[in-house]
Amino acid sequence: MFFKNFGKAALLVAVVAACGKNRVEVTQNGLKYQIHEQNEGGRKGKVGDIMTMHLTLLNSKDSVLRDTHKEGAPFQMLLQVPPFKGSYEEGLTMLTKGDSATFYVSADSLFTRAMQPLPPGVQKGTDIGIAVKVVDIQSQEEYQKAQASAFEKQKGIDAKTIADYIAKQNLGDKAQKTDSGVYYVVTQPGSGPTPSRGDIVQVHYTGKLLNGKVFDSSRTNPQAQGKPAQFPIGVGQVIPGWEEGVMKMHKGEKATLIIPSTLAYGPQGNQSIPPNSVLLFDIELIDIQKNPTAN
């Protein structure tokens, strides 16, 4: 009899605890939230820390607007003082490594602060659900040390990946290497000058993964409308591997750049590029305009 009653009591306590853990609560500043998992006694995030987490953005109808689980890499951010009342930054400081929660934030406040229009499917006056799962919390010093260690490790992995690719493609002496590890293969020589830092370059390009899958091209990208890309070189407007590779090219030249992930999109990747991907870019350097601010 005792054990039967104890079992019922234990079940009741478990149900009540579960309901309490997942109920919607509100902070003094108006942030609505639900805690799903919480580790007692863990180190909580504070302003100035780097938080790594997976997040899922949901509109008021629970339709997914973004899910970093599907992007292949978690989201990282510097924890800052909450920019407005009801901001989810307040809620992040409640969490420790391994915790999960959902925050409900005013869509108007969130996107107005970011100076962005409301995305499709999000109505004015509604809340955005931000479901998070904390992967790690680090001080800036801890984060920088971890990043430096991971960077050096990935450089070695990329170097082997590129060496294997060059051997498989029989590129041999055709592949020239820059100081930082970018390889370029000239496919059509050019007789014009090379660009200098700050010059405006016009290029046609096609970006591919090592398996040949095209993820972007100036010739087919609807935004480019078939026109060459134009940008100042050497001032940080494109990935570092592009900066170094394009500055080696002559006007009129066509070349393939083989860019290590550490000089491309790194461990984050993007929606069409997996994390830590070595990239291929077929580039045609069409024109060079000298730096308009040069004396």
Give just the sign of the alpha carbon dihedral 102, 107, 111, 117.
positive
DSSP alpha helix (H) spans, 118-190: 140-168
CA distance linking residue 160 with residue 175, whole number of Å: 15
Closest to 23 in 3D by CA, of 13, 12, 33, 14: 33
Which contiguous run of DSSP H or E holds residue 4? helix 2-22
Polymer length in residues for the chain? 295
Residue 267 tokens, joined:
């461990």
Amino acid letter for position 48 = G
Closest to 158 in 3D by CA, of 141, 180, 138, 139: 180
Q: Which positions ≥6 away from 30 have C-beta within 8 Å?
A: 85, 86
Catalytic center residues: 205, 215-216, 239, 265, 281
CA distance linking residue 104 with residue 44, whole number of Å: 20
Closest to 203 in 3D by CA, of 178, 223, 233: 233
Helix (H, G, I), strand (E, B) or coil at 28: coil
Give just the sign of the alpha carbon dihedral 119, 123, 125, 129.
negative
- Cα 131 to chain centroid, rounded: 18
CA distance linking residue 32 with residue 106, whole number of Å: 10
